[in-house]
C-alpha cells in the first residue's frame, strides 16, 4: 500500500542549510523514502553541489524578489500536491501558509512542525522590543505588533490536523494564546544522545563559543561586553562567534573597537563536522538569547560532553543544574557564572555533571514517532 503513498514536505530551509528544520526535514524524507513513500521536498535556497537524493527536491532561489519567490514556492507546492496523501510543513509562515492553503484546497491531511514563534522573533530581531517570549505574550504585544499575522496563524493552526513541536514551552504558548487543543499537539523531542566523553582539563586559552544567528535577541552584545570584563580581570580566554545574520557588522565593529579584539573572532557558519571540532576544543558553549526554545547547538554541545551556560527561559528537554543557567537581563550574573568555568576545579565538576545528564533520545525514536503520526492520518 505504501508504495503508492506520496507526501510533500514543505520547508523554508533544507540541505546544505543547517539548523533544526533542515536536518529534520532531510531525516524524515530519507526515512519515508526507505519505507516506500514517494517524497517531494519543496524548499527555498540553492545547493551548489547539486541534489543527489532518492527523493525529489524542488528549489526556489532566495535571490528572487521576495513576493515573486513566495508565489513560485506556492505554485510548486500546489502542483506537487495533486496526488499527495499528506502535506507536512516545517514552519508556520514562509512554507506553512502556502502548504496549508494547498492542503485545504485539495482536501489533504496537513501537519505543521513549530520550531519557534515568527511574531516574537521578527519583532525582537528588528529591535522593536527587547523582551522574552513569555513577557511578550503575557503583555499582549502580539496584538499590537502583528495582529493580522497572529489571527492568520491562529486560523491555520485551528484547522491543522496535527501540530508537532519539540518543547513544552512552545506547546504551552500555542495552547494558552492561540487556543489550540493539547490533543492536537504532538510533542516529539529533538534527538539528544551522548557521543563521547571529553577531557576535563582546561586549555591554555579557554574558548567561549557561540554558534547561531547574529540577531538582537540572541544577546551577543551582552556576551562581548561580559567577555571583555572577564578577559581584563583574568588575562586569558578567547571568544568565538560562529554564524551570520543582520547584526554581523555591528558585532564586528564592537570587536574591532575593543582593546581585546585579538582575543575575539567571528567565523562564518560551517558544516556540522567542523562545528563539532570547535565545540570539542571549547571551554563552555553559551546560549544567551532572551528565550532559547530547544537550541540544537546547546544539545550538540552537551552530547559531546561540553558544559553550557544557557538562558533561564528555555525549552530544553533536559533539566540543567542551576550553575548552567542565568538571567539574560542580568549582566553581573552572567559574568559571575561564566567566570566560574575558568576555574579548574569548577570546570572538572561541570564536566562531571554533563556526563551524568540523561541523554537517550535517538534519531531512530524521533523518526519512528513521525512514522506513527503520519500513518495515523492516512
Tens of pLDDT, residue by residue, the chain (378 residues): 445 699 999 999 998 887 778 889 999 999 999 999 999 999 999 887 888 899 999 999 999 999 999 999 999 999 999 999 999 999 999 999 999 999 999 999 999 999 899 999 999 988 899 999 999 999 999 999 999 999 999 999 999 999 999 999 999 999 999 999 999 999 999 888 676 655 555 566 799 999 998 999 999 999 999 999 999 999 999 999 999 889 999 999 999 999 999 999 999 988 888 999 999 999 999 999 999 988 889 988 999 999 999 999 999 888 899 999 999 999 999 999 999 999 999 999 999 999 888 888 889 999 999 999 999 998
The domain defined by 2-191+362-377 folds into Rossmann fold (3.40.50)
Place of cell 492553503: 101
Largest CA distance in the chain: 67
Question: Measured between alpha carbons, how far is 233 from 231 in angstroms, rounded to an integer?
Answer: 6
**Kind and range of the H or E run holding 351:** helix 344-355
Give strand pairing partners of 9.
41, 88
Architecture of the domain delimited by 193-355: 3-Layer(aba) Sandwich (3.40)
Contact (Cβ atoms closer than 8 angstroms) between residue 55 and residue 33: yes
Q: Residue 79's CB: how many other CB atoms inside 10 A?
A: 12
Rounded to 5°, angle at Cα 363 from 308 and 284 = 10
Pairing of strands 192-193, 360-361: antiparallel
* pTM of this structure: 0.86
For residue 205, give the DSSP letter. S
Are 2-191+362-377 and 193-355 in the same CATH fold? yes
**Backbone φ and ψ of 371, nearest 5°:** -60, -45
**Cell reading at 263:** 582575543
Tens digit of pLDDT for each residue in 49-58? Answer: 888 899 999 9
Give strand pairing partners of 40.
8, 56
Domain residue limits, the chain: 2-191+362-377, 193-355
Question: Measured between alpha carbons, how far is 57 from 36 in angstroms, rounded to an integer?
Answer: 17
**Backbone φ and ψ of 29, nearest 5°:** -60, -45
Amino acid at each position: 500500500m505504501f508504495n503508492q503513498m506520496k507526501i510533500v514536505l514543505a520547508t523554508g530551509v533544507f540541505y546544505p542549510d543547517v539548523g533544526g528544520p533542515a536536518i529534520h526535514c532531510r531525516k524524515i524524507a530519507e526515512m519515508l523514502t526507505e519505507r516506500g513513500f514517494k517524497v517531494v521536498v519543496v524548499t527555498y535556497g540553492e545547493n551548489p553541489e547539486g541534489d543527489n537524493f532518492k527523493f525529489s527536491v524542488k528549489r526556489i532561489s532566495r535571490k528572487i524578489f521576495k513576493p515573486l519567490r513566495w508565489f513560485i514556492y506556492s505554485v510548486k507546492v500546489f502542483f506537487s500536491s495533486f496526488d499527495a496523501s499528506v502535506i507536512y510543513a516545517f514552519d508556520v509562515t514562509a512554507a506553512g501558509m502556502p502548504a496549508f492553503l494547498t492542503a485545504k484546497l485539495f482536501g489533504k491531511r496537513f501537519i505543521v512542525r513549530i520550531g519557534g514563534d515568527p511574531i516574537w522573533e521578527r519583532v525582537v530581531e528588528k529591535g522593536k522590543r527587547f523582551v522574552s517570549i513569555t513577557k511578550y505574550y503575557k503583555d499582549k504585544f502580539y496584538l499590537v505588533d502583528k495582529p493580522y499575522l497572529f489571527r492568520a496563524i491562529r486560523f491555520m493552526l485551528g484547522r491543522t490536523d496535527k501540530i508537532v513541536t519539540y518543547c513544552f514551552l512552545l506547546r504551552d504558548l500555542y495552547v494558552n494564546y492561540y487556543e489550540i487543543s493539547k490533543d492536537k499537539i504532538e510533542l516529539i523531542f529533538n534527538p539528544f544522545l551522548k557521543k563521547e566523553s571529553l577531557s576535563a582539563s582546561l586549555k591554555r586559552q579557554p574558548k567561549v563559543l557561540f554558534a547561531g544567528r547574529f540577531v538582537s535577541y540572541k544577546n551577543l552584545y551582552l556576551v562581548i561586553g561580559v567577555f571583555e570584563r572577564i578577559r581584563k580581570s583574568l588575562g586569558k580566554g578567547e571568544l568565538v562567534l560562529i554564524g551570520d545574520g543582520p547584526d554581523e557588522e555591528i558585532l564586528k565593529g564592537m570587536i574591532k573597537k575593543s582593546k581585546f579584539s585579538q582575543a575575539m573572532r567571528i567565523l562564518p557558519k560551517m558544516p556540522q563536522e567542523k562545528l563539532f571540532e570547535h565545540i570539542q576544543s571549547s571551554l563552555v558553549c553559551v546560549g544567551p538569547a532572551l528565550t532559547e526554545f530547544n537550541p540544537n547547538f546547546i544539545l550538540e554541545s552537551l552530547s559531546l560532553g561540553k558544559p553550557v551556560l544557557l538562558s533561564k527561559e528555555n525549552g530544553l528537554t533536559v533539566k540543567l543544574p542551576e550553575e548552567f543557567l542565568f538571567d539574560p537581563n542580568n549582566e553581573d550574573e552572567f559574568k559571575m557564572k561564566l567566570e566560574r568555568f575558568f576555574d579548574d576545579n569548577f570546570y572538572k565538576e561541570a564536566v562531571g555533571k554533563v556526563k551524568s545528564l540523561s541523554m537517550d533520545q535517538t534519531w531512530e525514536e524521533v523518526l519512528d514517532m513521525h512514522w506513527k503520526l503520519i500513518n495515523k492520518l492516512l
